Structure 1
Amino acid sequence: MKKLFIPIILLLVLVVSGCGKGAAPAETQEPATNANQTANTNKSANTEQNSGTITYNSETGPIEVPANPQRIVGLTNAPNILSLGGTLVGVDEWTNKNPLFTDKLEGVEIVSDESLEKIIELEPDLIIAGSYMKNLDKLQEIAPTVVYTWGKLDYLEQQLEIGKLLNKEKEAQAWIDDFKQRTEAAGKEIKAKLGENVTVSVFEYDAKNLYVFGNNWARGTEILYQAMGLGMPEKVKENALGPGYYTLSLEVLPQFAGDYIVLSKNAAGDNSFLSTDTWKNIPAVKNNRVIEIDTEASSYSDPITLDYLLNIFKDALLAES
């Protein structure tokens, strides 16, 4: 389940399946008894506002959740929630930073798995969290808490599960079906124009390193390789397909370059390599076949991000030479 030193890149990609985890603000936690009393009060108020419930079969077992949740805290998968019109009252800091969601998150509080008091104050009727997060038992006392393990589901399965959770399975499935049709058609059109064996590489950089990505590490990799079926250079297959990403040195960068390059540009990263002869002499660079995307806007694999990147890729790959 949505960018960079290695720890941050791992965090943000947990975020590609939508699992962002932010830094916790300093605070003094309530005693357990007070937290329980407040949580019970919140639950009662939410029940009065929305008495309808459904049973969601989560990975940790069946859980009763609101049939129409109105106050969701999305510690993970927030972009998926937004794509289905879910109402967020709390969100992780990484989703909040993403420029694709700025207008959709106005007034939404930034929270983490450690900011329990703030979450209680938000009076959520549903919490969505990652299995790696802290305080899952305490979150469950505040509101029904559904947990997802990053990597257990692929990007389309994850969207469908969020649809089931929000009682919007039909809407989620409709988008999945439409997305598959659109990307398959785009892939065929691109191959017809550029050749069946055309290859694409996806590179990114941070303050210290260069990276190349496999087929499930956000930045549009799911679109390019899985949905559209475009080719991956052999070096990328050998080194990045399994682990998801691979750290490169500038010297070997040309060996990983495809016929086209998608360059995830990090405003806070070191882009000095772009001025080197090594970069400039890569055939894709010399032939103006570099597609630039914004790292912050490309670090998730939800419908909003995928549709945004699909349009960029189609326009670039199908542009008249």
Structure 2
Amino acid sequence: MNWEEYIQIWDTSWIQLVDIRQHVIRRQSKQQHLLPASSFIFVVRGQGAVWLDGDRYQLERFFVLHAGKGSNIRFEVGHEDVTYYYVLYRGTISTKASKSILKSYHINNPFQLQYACKPISPVVLYRHMESMYEEWNRRPAMERFQAKIQFYQFVYTLVQQLQLQGVAPKETDLVEQIIQYIHKHYYEPISLESMAEVWNYSIQYLSRQFKRRTGRSPIEYVIQTRMAKAKELLIQTDATVQEIAVNVGYSDVFYFTRLFKKQVGTTPVQYKNKVKTGLIVSDSPWQEFLSSMGKYSPACYIDHDNHYQLRLEGDKQMLKGIETKKGLMLMLVLTLLLAACGNGNTSRNSNPGAEPTQSTPSNQAVEKTGLRKIATVMGDVNVPANPQRVVVDWDLGPVLAVGVIPVGASNTQLEYSQFLKPFLDETVQDIGAEGSISFEKVLELAPDVIITWNKDAYSNYSKIAPTVLFDTSKYATIQEEITAMGEILDREEEAKHFVADFEKRKIAARDKIKNAIANDATISIVDYITVEKFLMVIGNLGERGGRATYDILGMKPTPKVQSEIIDKEMSRVEVSWETVNDYVGDYVIVLTVKDKAPPKLPSTWKMLDAVKNNRVIEIDMEKYFAADSYSSLLQAEDIADKISKLASSK
């Protein structure tokens, strides 16, 4: 890009000033942060050094630096203070710009370019900067407008001087920035959406550029970074698996363990033992991982489609045939056109100031377009009649309950909804783990409709296909929940059949328990396998069998569980072993995890009546993690069978 093109893009763009500040970095100190927007930095006093995405510049008075949103900037100041002005702005190209300007913008976005220099006439720039700063901080709209005029004058004067000096802008190395960001923030929540927001690029462009350079998607790289650090911690420390999981960004130790096994081939404990016995030799997995990346080494490239979740088994080959890709794109275009013709987009509530309210979706008459209008928490949405290709990121059970096998579902549900496995087949594809869904994969599946629980992801889903936000908290009963899903997916009859069958099976399960234990017997659900040094007591919300036990089977909780958990609408509480007797009832359901031994249990546990009298029912975490309506029914029947078997054994 030359400076003429640079100015032409500025001339055809919408510019918004975000903030203008003056900073002082005290001597012998450091400062580091990510730029929240495109920025000019103008040093007016002092000396030091600044690193911009790894490139070092010598700071001196009247030094100008420009960098784009998401750039990593670090200052180091020597024996004197450094004073600089900091101008944050956003720039957006006009859609009415000429094709040549738009092409130049997309190749080299000027608002992301990096350049630095010591201008030849710094006092003129200083005058513009000082006036801009003063006008901006007066606050009234007229002065803010004047500050914007001064900003344009500053940019014009600077570009004139850069052109005379022969300074060339440096294109931002987007991939290097993302890699540095991941290495620094791997233990924090990271999604493709958040990275796209940081660097102000579309999800598709960011992911495509990263994959082209590294051979893997950004979220794959996040996962591999976390696993490398986890291996390092397993080898070099005595941290527990749970402590390591949290340290590398996973609050759910079971999900971390399964992900580790997929990546490494063994569980974390097995890996640690193999290193100890010499079956695996690895002194520093973290450094090995960093070295293996090289500088975008082509050896990193793999031929399998990379989504948010790296799968070492059963990955599908990328769609390589041209005709297949054409067909996929035609399907996507047709779907988006249908949605656009129906209501312009999947509209939100027409009253932006009102709280969204959920009503059971009301199925309208099928129009000639083959679309049905349904009411949702996000407003009316046009969905296809009798959709065949459904993607669901969480509520897998209700979708299966109305007779629909989705084309895609979240890895979390596929792995932890074990009771639903018999109702699935190999055609259901993994769209990524909860919290890091691959929109690329969803796009590839060309869905007719998407079912999501995640309001934050709704906008991105809606760009792919008609999307329904399914909020189960808005339904008073499982029957209402299934009825609503039946209407969303045009499976009303199937929903009626399931609801009728649900009632029969619920009554049968309750009768089985009545014949096994006293009517006034209390029961508790506890988890001491996934936590340390305390006991987790489960209510009737969320996972771990609470919904099945208390809502479907109608079993009686202890007074403490009722008052401290269920009445307060909490899913679970953590209690000390000293108070365990207050929460555990006549019977106790205990969570277990395959291949994980329980901790050493204290005497307060062993002295419980339920434990002493062998009224303990063990359930498998993998089967009881899910809490959807269908899983909960199957869990209730399983618990009823276990209680009946326990009673008959006495």
Shorter-chain TM-score tier: 0.7 to 0.9
Please identify, of 61-70 and 263-272, the stretch whose mean Cα deviation from structure 2 is larger. Answer: 263-272
Q: Spell out, residue by residue over 1:246-273, the C-alpha distance to the aligned partner (whole angstroms, 9 max, x if none).
A: 1122222232111111112234867204
Secondary structure of 1:230's counterpart equals coil
Contact in 1 for aligned 2:336/2:465 (Cα 8 Å) = no
Q: Spell out, residue by residue over 1:129-180, the C-alpha distance to the aligned partner (whole angstroms, 9 max, x if none).
A: 123433x222112100101235232451322221111112232233223323
C-alpha distance in structure 2 between counterparts of 1:185 and 1:139, whole Å: 40
Q: Which has the higher contact order (CA 8 A, sep 6+)?
A: 1
| Cα drift, residue 84 of structure 1 | 2.4
Aligned residue pairs total: 292
C-alpha distance in structure 2 between counterparts of 1:245 and 1:39, whole Å: 46
Partner of 1:16: none
* Partner AA of 2:468 in structure 1: V
Equivalent residue runs for 1:264-283 within 5 Å: 264-267=591-594, 271-273=598-600, 275-283=601-609
Contact in 2 for aligned 1:72/1:89 (Cα 8 Å) = yes
1:313 corresponds, among 623, 626, 639, to: 639
C-alpha distance in structure 1 between counterparts of 2:481 and 2:597, whole Å: 33
1:258 corresponds, among 585, 590, 593, to: 585
Secondary structure of 2:524's counterpart equals strand
Partner of 2:619: 293
| Cα drift, residue 303 of structure 1 | 4.7
Contact in 1 for aligned 2:375/2:381 (Cα 8 Å) = yes
Secondary structure of 2:463's counterpart equals helix
C-alpha distance in structure 2 between counterparts of 1:181 and 1:270, whole Å: 38
Secondary structure of 1:100's counterpart equals helix
Secondary structure of 1:218's counterpart equals coil
Secondary structure of 2:474's counterpart equals coil
Q: Spell out, residue by residue over 1:6-45, the C-alpha distance to the aligned partner (whole angstroms, 9 max, x if none).
A: 9439x9xxxxxxxxxxx9459xxxxxxxxxxx87851416
- Specify every segment of 5 or more residues in structure 2 that has no aligned partner in the other structure, as ranges: 1-241, 256-306, 311-327, 339-367
Query: Would you say 1:137 and 2:463 are equivalent positions?
Result: no
Alignment TM-score, normalising by the size of structure 1:
0.78
Contact in 1 for aligned 2:332/2:446 (Cα 8 Å) = yes
Partner of 1:194: 517
Contact in 2 for aligned 1:155/1:301 (Cα 8 Å) = no
Partner of 2:428: 108
Partner of 2:559: 234
Partner of 1:55: 373
C-alpha distance in structure 1 between counterparts of 2:384 and 2:599, whole Å: 51
C-alpha distance in structure 2 between counterparts of 1:161 and 1:210, whole Å: 37
C-alpha distance in structure 2 between counterparts of 1:188 and 1:107, whole Å: 38
| Cα drift, residue 46 of structure 1 | 8.8
Partner of 2:574: 247
Distance 1:193 1:111, change over 3 A: closer
Distance 1:257 1:88, change over 3 A: same
Contact in 2 for aligned 1:53/1:66 (Cα 8 Å) = yes
1:88 corresponds, among 403, 406, 411, to: 406
* Partner AA of 1:255 in structure 2: D
C-alpha distance in structure 2 between counterparts of 1:175 and 1:85, whole Å: 9
Contact in 2 for aligned 1:39/1:143 (Cα 8 Å) = no
* Partner AA of 2:571 in structure 1: G
Contact in 2 for aligned 1:155/1:302 (Cα 8 Å) = no
- Specify every segment of 5 or more residues in structure 1 that has no aligned partner in the other structure, as ranges: 12-22, 27-37
C-alpha distance in structure 2 between counterparts of 1:246 and 1:117, whole Å: 38
Q: Spell out, residue by residue over 1:272-291, the C-alpha distance to the aligned partner (whole angstroms, 9 max, x if none).
A: 04x44332222112222111
Identity of aligned residues (%): 27
Distance 1:190 1:101, change over 3 A: closer
2:471 corresponds, among 139, 149, 153, to: 149
Partner of 1:170: 493
Contact in 1 for aligned 2:578/2:604 (Cα 8 Å) = yes
Task: Please give the root-mean-square deviation of Cα atoms over the aligned residues, in Å.
Answer: 3.2
C-alpha distance in structure 2 between counterparts of 1:91 and 1:189, whole Å: 34
| Cα drift, residue 126 of structure 1 | 0.8
Contact in 2 for aligned 1:120/1:142 (Cα 8 Å) = yes
| Cα drift, residue 117 of structure 1 | 1.9
Contact in 1 for aligned 2:372/2:382 (Cα 8 Å) = yes
Q: Spell out, residue by residue over 1:173-197, the C-alpha distance to the aligned partner (whole angstroms, 9 max, x if none).
A: 3322332343235435534542221
Please identify, of 52-61 and 300-309, the stretch whose mean Cα deviation from structure 2 is larger. Answer: 300-309
